[in-house]
Amino acid sequence: MAPNSIHWFRKGLRLHDNPALLQAVRGAGTVRCVYFLDPWFAGSSNVGVNRWRFLLQCLEDLDANLRKLNSRLFVIRGQPANVFPRLFKEWKISRLTFEYDSEPFGKERDAAIKKLAMEAGVEVNVKTSHTLYDLDKIIELNGGQPPLTYKRFQTLISRLDPPEMPVETLSDALMGGCVTPVSEDHGDKYGVPSLEELGFDTEGLPTAVWPGGETEALTRIERHLERKAWVANFERPRMNANSLLASPTGLSPYLRFGCLSCRLFYFKLTDLYRKVKKNSSPPLSLYGQLLWREFFYTTATNNPRFDKMEGNPICVRIPWDKNPEALAKWAEAKTGFPWIDAIMTQLRQEGWIHHLARHAVACFLTRGDLWISWEEGMKVFEELLLDADWSVNAGSWMWLSCSSFFQQFFHCYCPVGFGRRTDPNGDFIRRYLPVLRGFPAKYIYDPWNAPESVQAAAKCVIGVHYPKPMVHHAEASRLNIERMKQIYQQLSRYRGLARLPRVTAAGASCSTFTIKKTRGRAAANSDCNRTYTSNSNSLVGRPLLSFVSITNIFELLGGYGYMLRI
Amino acid sequence: MKRIKGVEEDSNSSSSKSPPEVCKKVRKQTSDESVAVVASESTESDWARLPQELLLHIFQYLPLLDRAYASQVCRTWNQAFHMPELWRCFEFELNQPASSYLKATHPDLIKQIIKRHSNHLQYVSFKVDSSTESAEAACDILSQLVNCSLKTLGLISTARPSFMEVPKSHFISALTVVFVNSKSLSSLKIDDTPVDDPSLKVLVANNSDTLKLLKMSSCPHVSPAGILCVADQCHGLRELALNYHLLSDELLLALSSEKHVHLEHLRIDVVSENPGQHFHTIKKSSWDAMVRHSPKFNLVMYFFLYEDEFGPFFNEEVPVTHLYFGRSVSKEVLGRVGLHCPRLVELVVCANGLRPLDEELIRIAKHCTQLSAIGLGECEVSCSAFVEFVKMCGRRLSQLSIMEEVLIPDHKYSLDEIHWEVSKHLGRVWFPDMMPTW
């Protein structure tokens, strides 16, 4: 009896390079591709209209492409755990397939579904295709712990076999005798909902700058590679004013939703490099964007508290300020710093900002100016940013707020200077903050310094038509660098760390220092006596630039609460 | 406990009896195990009779919460918990749920410490969050430390400087309680507080013999005369941190007078309040006097200025050892740094602007022969110049923290090749710092 299959779409919203989908149709009698949408979830969840629209466009695209194969997408309203048992019975399912989800709650959900399936006599097939590598292998290679520096991560993957080649796209041939029974009222029962149906008001909503879907993704990747080939240069492009704007070759949201296979991207990059450079081995830096994504997935996969500060073994406990008003000003682009406000406006309107823009606003919110918790920033990004999924978003925020990953914290992005250096003319500001259009380049980044006459000419009085700056940056950054220094100093002092530089074997992670733990009385007393003495003044010395990378991070970063050991 | 557990396991197989009878039965039956029984009996009671010195030693390894649990076990352990040696150091964490994610020290614990241990306290710090409530609570505790002879006092704001929100008189009176009663203050950390000249006079009047460290950056109510008074009277002062507006020629001369010990650290924050602010200059002769008096002292300077406010600085030789530029600093100023800072040990540049710093770095490598640490943020350096810089500094560069974006590949080196070159000259594996690009 040929099995009846369900392929469960979650991410991986594509027909190309989808091994789980191919497994669903292999030798099957019928196949139904499902996607679950909880209608109540849409209204209450922390996901903005741009993300919903992108998702719905992905689903529409899937449906359209499946139609070409005489199939359809089944959008099911409800929760998988509640609905699957009914579907298994109704459709007489004996096979369930889906793409592996490495995130902790994804794994939990899937374990529960697997159990349900087993009870219903349904065979479950899971395939990895959202990441380049099998993440558990990377962790295993690192002695059971995820690597916490990017360099270490790169070292580990250079020891692995290259990623598996992408599999073929689902086609009529591959479908074979497999069919999808589609009822007359499929559209009503299982059609892709509209934004209005989900409760969004779409009046006046501008067209999407980033249209969702696999078709769009595949067009983009060709454009992306064409541009790279034309430039014949695989170096990191220099940042200029144009880079800040949404690019028709940008791929990050498509990678996140799985409209574009990361493996396809990887191999196309490799092929192009070999063709242009006539060189057989591309450097790891070629895959930068993909590897950062992979790095964060790896560090997050076994850590259910990855998105929290409390109880997260890899996160430093920093005494962030709770300040809902300040947070709101940042989120709503009302900080009074045009550079920050323009970026946050672009984010809310379009759903994407350049990675250096992300650094700027993240630094401003956390360790640079407002001293607000990165968890708050992460939630705002989750709502607005198209390519922010759980692992990558949380990981990046921890990185940018210097809460983890041994990130140096001495340099702070200036909310005036950084923007000015990137786009001296201020066109980016004028585009997203039209109220400031009248300001000349000289004052557009710090309009509060403009003389009254200039403000009047620009028809924008600071404090009336545009807010005054919400912090004094020099003072805030002075305070905050001192805070960060205090925290890291106390971490290292508390644990009695001694620093022994060690030249590591070639290819291994650099800047590793072994820790000599001196616990107990002697260390504690000497700490007390020397609480605020030498080395506390050196910004670089031991506490700041000399970053300790340790063999057992869990011991170091836990227990910040007890600073003094008597 | 263990024995009874074992007995219960046995009783499952035998007939059910009440525990005491079964115990007796086991004791009679296990004559060949009697040695083990006796041993466990004696070890059990010994725990309560450990000598106090041993208990003290063990308790010192425990964090406060665990120690508190241990103190509930028996009377002896409870007594040990209250031994003075365990209450020398304490850090009061004062947070409000509305303004902080972290837990505060329990108010009952605070009460207990003030009641039973205030005269044991020697090294005390207060960590307050951004709420005025927390800062006021800290002041209240301070006012009650009448019986203390503190050696170290630290007032630390972990977020916004909430001590500045407390009414000045309240703060000053609380602080003077400690100044007057301690008489042996050695380290004092009062950055971002409303401390003023009169209270510094009180500090000096009572602690001039013992004061070794004073950190008071960003105390706006102190004047140069106020700090001069401290320098004049406290001849044991080894470490001082203050803002540039308090620095004067007189202060430096006072710190280098014959009566004064060698200074170890002097930290100066140069912060711009308003753009175009004018800063006074310090005479070269004053710096020279400092260096003559304390040849090994560290001069740490943090600059938070606009690019065009650096006029008064680095025009003559200045003995700075650790230099931090928190905002953008121009090529020209960095050039002057190369010429006039021969004692430079550490240099951190947050931002410069997009013109390569090649010449300036080479000059620094040449003239700053003590340089061992450098950090570059938003700057640009060509790869060849960077390699040249590292070659000139060689192995003395123990800290090299360069953002990946800083290095501009040129005809000689690409980004992938540069780390090998640099590693070669440094004698260890080196990579630039990276930021996520996603």
Any idea what DSSP says for residue B261? P
DSSP letter string, B167-228: -HHHHHHHHHHHHHHHS---EEE-TTS---HHHHHHHHHHHTTT--EEE-TT-TT--HHHHH
CB–CB contact B438 A373 (8 Å): no
B41 Cβ neighbours under 8 A, 6+ residues apart = none
Amino acid at site A187:
G
CB–CB contact A532 B398 (8 Å): no
Helix axes B168-182 and B132-143, enclosed angle (nearest 10): 30
What is the β-pairing status of strands A123-127 and B373-378? Answer: unpaired
At residue A554 the predicted structure's pLDDT band, cuts being 50, 70 and 90, is very low
CB–CB contact A359 B435 (8 Å): yes
CB–CB contact A545 B191 (8 Å): no
Which 383-402 residues of chain B touch chain A by CB within 8 A?
Answer: 398-399, 401
A201: which 2 tokens? 């008001």
Helix axes B197-207 and B168-182, enclosed angle (nearest 10): 10
Chain A: residue whose CA lies nearest to B98: A322
Would you state the torsion angle of the CA atoms of residues B155, B160, B162, B165, taken in this order, to the nearest 10 degrees?
140
Interval B257-310: pLDDT, tens: 999 999 998 999 999 887 778 899 999 999 999 999 999 999 999 999 988 899
- What is the C-alpha separation between B275 and B309, in angstroms, rounded? 8
- What is the C-alpha separation between A428 and B155, in angstroms, rounded? 43
CB–CB contact A483 B159 (8 Å): yes
Shortest distance, CA A534 to any CA of chain B (angstroms) = 7
Shortest distance, CA B129 to any CA of chain A (angstroms) = 7
SS percent in chain A: helix, strand, coil, step 5? 45, 5, 45
A223 Cβ neighbours under 8 A, 6+ residues apart = A248, A249
CB–CB contact B60 A520 (8 Å): yes
Burial of B20 (0-12, 13-18, 19+ CB in 10 A): exposed
Residue to test with chain B: of A317, A374, A531, A546, most B Cβ within 10 A: A531
| Burial call A455-479: b when 16+ CB within 10 Å, e when fewer | beebebebeeebbebbbbbbbbbbb
- Give the pLDDT confidence score for residue B42 in this predicted structure: 53
- Give the pLDDT confidence score for residue A234 in this predicted structure: 64
CB–CB contact B429 A503 (8 Å): yes
What residues of A are in contact with residue B217 (Cβ under 8 Å)?
482
SS percent in chain B: helix, strand, coil, step 5? 45, 15, 40
Interval B312-325: pLDDT, tens: 999 999 999 999 99
**Which residue, chain included where needed, has tokens 């540039």?**
B244
Burial of B341 (0-12, 13-18, 19+ CB in 10 A): buried
Amino acid at site B5:
K
Question: From the DSSP assignment, how many helices (H) and strands (E) are in chain B?
Answer: 17, 14
Residue A100's nearest CA partner among A10, A172, A32 is A10
What are the CA-CA distances from residue A391 to residues A107, A429, B383 (Å)? 13, 31, 34
Beta bridge partners of A501: A513
- Give the pLDDT confidence score for residue A230 in this predicted structure: 72
Q: Does B120 touch chain A (CB under 8 A)?
A: no
B271 Cβ neighbours under 8 A, 6+ residues apart = A474, A475, A478, B218, B243, B244, B304, B305
Residue to test with chain B: of A295, A411, A473, A479, most B Cβ within 10 A: A411
Q: Does B327 touch chain A (CB under 8 A)?
A: yes
Beta bridge partners of B155: B126
Interval A416-454: pLDDT, tens: 988 988 899 999 999 999 999 999 999 999 999 999 999
Give the ipTM.
0.83
Question: Closest to B436 (Cβ–Cβ): which among A322, A399, A529?
Answer: A399
- Give the pLDDT confidence score for residue B371 in this predicted structure: 93
Task: Decide if pLDDT at A387 tops 70.
Answer: yes
Mean pLDDT check: name the lowest of A284-293, A543-552, B108-117. Answer: A543-552
CB–CB contact B401 A408 (8 Å): yes
Average pLDDT rounded to a whole number, residues B413-432: 86
- Give the pLDDT confidence score for residue A474 in this predicted structure: 86
**Which residue, chain included where needed, has tokens 């960003």?**
B218
B170 Cβ neighbours under 8 A, 6+ residues apart = B136, B139
Amino acid at site A483:
R
A294 marked among binding-site residues: yes
Shortest distance, CA B378 to any CA of chain A (angstroms) = 8
Task: Decide if pLDDT at A329 tops 70.
Answer: yes
A293 marked among binding-site residues: yes
CB–CB contact B304 A355 (8 Å): no
- What is the C-alpha separation between B152 and B323, in angstroms, rounded? 27
Please give the mean pLDDT across all residues of chain B: 86
At residue A493 the predicted structure's pLDDT band, cuts being 50, 70 and 90, is low
CB–CB contact B324 A475 (8 Å): no
CA atoms within 13 A on the CB side of A362: 26
A22 marked among binding-site residues: no
A388 marked among binding-site residues: yes
Chain A: residue whose CA lies nearest to B305: A474
pTM for the full predicted model? 0.85
Interval A236-263: pLDDT, tens: 666 778 889 999 989 999 999 999 999 9
